[in-house]
Amino acid sequence: MSPLIDTGQTSWQNKHETYVQPVRRVLQAVNDPPQSGDPLQRYNATTGALQALIQRALQEGVRLRAFGGGWSFSGAPSTDGYLVDTSPLNLWFRIRDRSIHPAYPGPRGGLYFLQCGNSIAGLNRNLRAEQRSLRTTGASNGQSIVGAMSTGTHGAAIDVGAIQDYVVGIHLIVAPDRHLWVERSSYPVTTDGFAGLLGAELRRDDDLFNAVLVSFGAFGLIHGVMIETDPIFLLEMHRVRRPLDDRLRAAITSLEFTGAGLPGGDERPRHFEVVANPYDMEAGVYVTAMYRRPLRPDYPKPPQGGLAPGDDALQFVGTVTDTIPLLIPTVMTAAVRSQYRTTTVPLEGTTNEIFPTTTTRGKAAGTAIAVPSELALDTVNLILSINREHGPFPCLVALRFVPRTQALLGFTRFPRTCIVDVDGPLSNRTRSFYSRIWQLMSMSGIPYTMHWGKLLGLSAAEARRLYGANVDRWLAARRGLLPPPLRRAFSNR
């Protein structure tokens, strides 16, 4: 059985240093060494070790959660009991045709089974060797695949969705003597025998699957997931500065690009985002458009050093100081102009080359509000009005777009979802700005949700109001799967 290493830690801090969590113990899960057996045997041995840990948590009456990259700003994925570092669990398997269900509707050559600790950046590197690519990622990719899925991490791939939207199978450990392989009944992926290879019980259930997708660890320990991938491709990236005129406003609210004046003309971009500096609006907003292109051997690699091509504001706003409020407009504008650069010629690269970042710079904070894209500009106006009346606050506003998720508590829940990111340095001043935004959004009448992995102010009552019947379906799926002692063990509070 794979060991669990006791680190001796009784507190834990997330990557972005937004909170410190007292815990009973931080444990680290590791796989048995390669000489102990083949990869599947080692994977299954780790399943046994995680089941034994669940037994230990139940006997001691403590809670249990796992983490990967520790990338989440919010405390939603953490707990005060045993916190398990799964980052060393990085086995991965290409799924052979013999394990694919006859009714599976997707391309049969792009399925991969991934252990929970695989990082997004590591997967991009491994998949490149297979001539495959993740369908989308976030702007920075230090997260584990399960952590990114469980909090709804997204990019700006307007027709693809968030990370959880290309997950099609979940290996869920729910008890000392029970673990499940979960798929949608409406979208079978593997043969009935695949679950048996893991020693798992097969469950095909749409509501259970869609509940577990974004669940922060509340259904058990997710040991592995199966994902769909794309053939490897290039992204052709353009970033321009332009006025927020009627053409751009129409593109933002409709996601229709004919006549929008984007660098690719009327071609529909794969990736579309807009960044606004509240203190430099007269000079225009920053528009990033990326277009999918076939891989070719002679493409020029993106430049190294400084910000990566796909980096977002979080990669530099943490270096900005807000100790002298009167200087905030000048300091923010200087930082953006010097670091968030436009392109004079298109940049090209694979997903991993455009979005390679796995580290943080300075101490940054972020909150993100998801709204219907047709109300994106109303939301921006609300945020800018707070800044005018109560600021200045050291923050930038970014708009990213994805389609609706099937995850019951996925925050990208509108047919055309715009995620309005507000990024700034980690400070009391920034937090006070966020509190005002959250309060005004709750009173605005604008339908919205909030990114589970960013800073958020969301009461249980407000979450129920925003997600409606999906909360009841999520809770029903959890109650139907877990008896009360296990529900308590997998609760974060």
One digit per residue, the tens of pLDDT, for the chain of length 493 reads 567 999 999 998 888 788 899 999 999 999 999 999 999 999 999 999 999 999 999 999 999 999 988 878 888 778 899 999 999 999 999 999 999 999 999 998 999 999 999 999 899 999 999 999 999 988 777 789 999 999 888 889 999 999 999 999 999 999 999 999 999 999 999 999 999 999 999 999 999 999 999 999 999 999 999 999 999 999 999 999 999 999 999 999 999 999 999 999 999 999 999 999 999 999 999 999 999 999 999 998 887 766 656 555 566 676 676 667 888 899 889 888 888 889 999 999 998 888 876 666 668 888 999 999 999 999 999 999 999 999 899 899 999 999 999 999 999 999 999 999 999 888 899 999 999 999 999 999 999 999 998 999 888 999 999 999 999 999 999 999 999 999 999 998 7
Residue 37 and residue 64: Cα distance in Å, rounded? 28
**CATH number reported for the structural domain that contains residue 156 in this entry:** 3.30.465.10
Residue 329 domain-assigned (yes or no) = yes
Looking at residue 2, its pLDDT comes to: 61
Residues 413 and 431 in one domain: yes
Residues 189 and 255 in one domain: no
Looking at residue 1, its pLDDT comes to: 54
Structure tokens at 45: 């041995």
The one-letter code for the residue type at 119 is: S
Structure tokens at 311: 């980096």
Looking at residue 325, its pLDDT comes to: 81
Residue 466 domain-assigned (yes or no) = no
Residue 122 domain-assigned (yes or no) = yes
64 neighbors 52 (Cβ within 8 angstroms): no
Residues 169 and 280 in one domain: no
The CB density around residue 435, as the number of other CB atoms within 10 Å, is 13
Residue 469 domain-assigned (yes or no) = no
178 neighbors 201 (Cβ within 8 angstroms): yes
Residue 478 domain-assigned (yes or no) = no
Residue 423 domain-assigned (yes or no) = yes
Cα distance from N-terminal residue to C-terminal residue, the chain:
30
Residue 298 domain-assigned (yes or no) = yes
Residues 334 and 245 in one domain: yes
Residues 216 and 306 in one domain: no
362 neighbors 425 (Cβ within 8 angstroms): yes
295 neighbors 234 (Cβ within 8 angstroms): yes
Structure tokens at 217: 């660890």
> Tokens 């990736």 label which residue?
271
Give the Cα-Cα-Cα angle 304, 141, 466 (nearest 5 degrees).
140
Phi and psi at residue 18, to the nearest 5°: -90, -15
Looking at residue 307, its pLDDT comes to: 61
Residues 265 and 356 in one domain: yes
Looking at residue 285, its pLDDT comes to: 97
Residue 295 domain-assigned (yes or no) = yes
Residue 429 and residue 423: Cα distance in Å, rounded? 12
For the question of whether the overall pTM of this predicted structure is more than 0.75, the answer is yes
Residue 357 and residue 352: Cα distance in Å, rounded? 9
134 neighbors 124 (Cβ within 8 angstroms): yes
Q: Which of 165, 69, 157 is nearest to 121 (CA)?
A: 69
Residues 37 and 176 in one domain: yes
Looking at residue 464, its pLDDT comes to: 95
Looking at residue 321, its pLDDT comes to: 65
Residues 306 and 335 in one domain: yes
Residues 259 and 392 in one domain: yes
In a 10 Å sphere around its CB, with 0-12 CB exposed, 13-18 middle and 19+ buried, how is residue 178 labelled?
Answer: middle
Looking at residue 339, its pLDDT comes to: 82
Looking at residue 312, its pLDDT comes to: 57
Phi and psi at residue 255, to the nearest 5°: 55, 30
Residues 177 and 262 in one domain: no
CA atoms within 13 A on the CB side of 468: 4
Looking at residue 482, its pLDDT comes to: 98
Looking at residue 247, its pLDDT comes to: 98
How many structural domains does the chain have? 2
**CATH number reported for the structural domain that contains residue 353 in this entry:** 3.40.462.10
Residues 223 and 243 in one domain: no
Residues 125 and 15 in one domain: yes
- Structural domain including 438 reads 234-458
